Amino acid sequence: MNTDRRTQAERSATTRAAVVRAARDLFGRHGYGAVSTVAVAAAAGVSRGALYHQFADKRDLFEAVFEDLERGVVAAIEEAVDRAQAPDPLAGLIVGCLACLQASTAPDVRRIALLDAPAVLGWRRWRDIQLRHTIALVEDALSAAIAANQVRPQPVRPLALVIVGALDEAAQIIAHSESADADTAAIRGVVEQLVSGLAVD
């Protein structure tokens, strides 16, 4: 009996993961409004009934995709920080912000996270999900820098929100640039200067 339940749970998890992968690809390429659940089910190789067994509706599926995307961005940031072996928390924050910017310029991330998510989920739900993932990561990095006396003590959440907002806007600028390489280099310099400017004199 336990084995049967575990097997069913595994099958369910596999189906859910396949649907989320397919939906992320389609939402990322075409946008939320242009993608139907029929198309997602076909791309995932499951029936529409199986899709609706996992998700209440298309919006619920989109939310799961956005959560998955945010987890992926956090993983990319953490990997970049680990790889850089930053010498102190502020240096790690700079590396992390640059990695966040890079991840946010990917076409699927930009379309899903920055264009569609606020409209589909509503600003509050969009922000709540970010608060659990990318914003939480920035808050942790800021708290570490404050604890190390590299950044003056101050409310962490407002500062994290401003930093993430700046990164979101920077990603949009790069995405719409006609000189992406030059603008990317310039914006990376601005981000580095912005975060370095938090340092205690």
Domain locations along the chain: 1-55, 57-196
Q: Quick one: CA torsion of 10, 12, 16, 19, rounded to 10 degrees?
A: 110
Question: Which of the four CATH numbers 1.10.357.10, 3.90.1150.10, 3.40.228.10, 3.10.20.70 does domain 57-196 have?
Answer: 1.10.357.10
Q: Which residues fall within 8 angstroms of residue 157, CB to CB, at 6 or more apart?
A: 135, 139
* Structure confidence at residue 177 (pLDDT): 84
The CATH architecture that domain 1-55 belongs to is Orthogonal Bundle (1.10)
Given a contact cutoff of 8 angstroms between Cβ atoms, the answer to whether 96 and 141 are in contact is: yes
- pTM beyond 0.75, yes or no: yes
- pLDDT at residue number 3: 56
Segments of the chain with pLDDT less than 50: 1
